[in-house]
Chain A
Amino acid sequence: MKNGFSVFIAAFIALGASWCGFVLAPLLQLGTAKQTAVLVSGDTYPIQRTGDATLGLQVYRANDCAACHTEQIQQSGVAFDVVLTGLGKNPMAVRSAIQETCELIYKDNPKDKNLYDMLVEHLSPEQPFSPATILNSVTKTIADSASDKITAAGGKVETHLIPTGADISRGWGVRRSVAADFLYDSPVQLGSQRIGPDLADVGARLGNANWQLLHLYAPQSVVKNSAMPPFRFLFEIKKIDDAPSPEALNLPKEFAPPAGCEVVPKPEAKQLVAYLLSLRADAPLYEAPFTPAQVSTNAPAK
């Protein structure tokens, strides 16, 4: 290039293009996002944190917990379960439709034959009917065709959508994390290293405040061989007054303070725990659908 000005223009174009793509466009698309509706129940999501949980986010930031923990669940695919919920008027036709469907599928997977045999027994005429899973973790096409066949025979069928992925199988979450999960967070603490477990859904998974406080003070007392450093500076060790404090931690012997003393959480510890307990990502959304656990009604079984 001929002169400094043309170099400047070249750099301006290159950086300007990515500025438009990764700064301006997300600002317009995601930066103006509002609450979204939860599938099924019609609630809005997310709900803004209040009180200690909001302050807890700042304690999380100050200690840079995001250096070791992520707050994002990943999903690698979707699978479907097909559940029979009613036999309708013509149980024989429905049973034969089920048999036809399953045989086609289990023909390719002989190890599922045991499941099929159990299913046949479950649906035998002598037993009173109760809902049963016909197909487990199949693709959408198989689920839809099975569903159509059985509905045509008069039966009532539900297909359940289940996200799949290593994080979900491990129990770290029920669906992938999406932008709506972080709508009210500032600063967003997504994390980039999983030295410790993912925390996106920890409020649902480990929602016990006492466990969380113990884990902060002495991680090795609740998780053997934990690599997490103890955050003792979030707690105070003080002499027991007339009566032990109701907030004192109930520590095992190796981690207990000297006799006559108790470990009491400071406000930062309580705020951090409130924040951790507020971390949930279990509402089904349009962009991350899944079938949640069934809501019970008063209807008698048909």
Chain B
Amino acid sequence: MSDDPKISNPQPDAEPTATRSTVPMWIFSLTLVLIYLGAVYFDHHGGWFDAKVYGPYASADQLDSYQPKSGAAAAIARGKKLYEMNCGICHGVDGLGKPNIAPPLAGSEWVKAKGVQRLTHIPLTGVSGSIMVENQPWNLSMAAMGAALPDADLAAVLTYIRASWGNGMGEVTADDVKAVRAAIGAHPQPMIGDQMMKMPE
């Protein structure tokens, strides 16, 4: 009925078949060898699925060991932030203290002492009673403002205080804070002023 050009000789074409030759062993061995090598590679470079390990770091331990623990500068910057949040309200952002509220920290002999034990006690236990700061008597009480801070953070704050406003003293480490905390024990009482004056630095 229609007059389209048909294919001149429409032969049925056979559907393809597949031979049943076997797969040689060497390709399986190659696969296994590559799987083994891949596992070794993943062990070295995969960080063992840790969410914090990014290349070029190879493992969580390596990343931890590479964290900058370098000395005072890092702690000071962090300490500055924490100081301003926790201590600056009473002691002043400039460290000059506020009359009838808190004694100054700039130039204070408590801060500039050679040892850090006594200074570290103060935020961990609090103070009450009368003390002398820069030849001025202060008879106030301070809560244990640093007791809730982790060791490293409190160490940073104290390092900042000791380094700033012309104090120019060395750092307080997290280990120092830990030692003092351990010595104080579980239920610290605020130190009385006289007690504090007699304490070793």
Contacts and interface: CB of A to CB of B under 8 A. Distances in A.
**In the complex, A touching B (Cβ < 8 A):** yes
A40 B166 contact: no
Given A176-B54, A289-B68, A291-B68, A42 B76 contact: no
B67 interface: yes
B164 A40 contact: no
B56 A76 contact: yes
A284 B163 CA distance: 23
A186 B65 CA distance: 34
A179 to B, nearest CB: 8
Given A41-B81, A42-B82, A287 B56 contact: no
Contact of B67 (A29, A289, A298): A289
B71 A85 contact: yes
Contacts of B153: 42
Chain A, interface size: which category? Answer: 35 or more
Interface in A1-33: 25, 29-30, 33
Given A41-B81, A299-B167, A294 B73 contact: yes
Interface residues of B, number: 31
B20 interface: no
A286 B55 contact: no
A282 interface: no
A88 B65 CA distance: 26
A290 B74 CA distance: 11
A43 B85 CA distance: 12
Contacts of A161: 66, 68
B56 A75 contact: yes
A286 B77 CA distance: 16
A29 B51 contact: yes
Contacts of B164: 297-299
Interface of A: 25, 29-30, 33, 39-43, 75-78, 85, 140, 156-161, 176, 178-179, 284, 286-291, 294-295, 297-300, 302
Interface of B: 49, 51-56, 63, 65-68, 70-74, 76-78, 80-82, 153, 160, 163-168
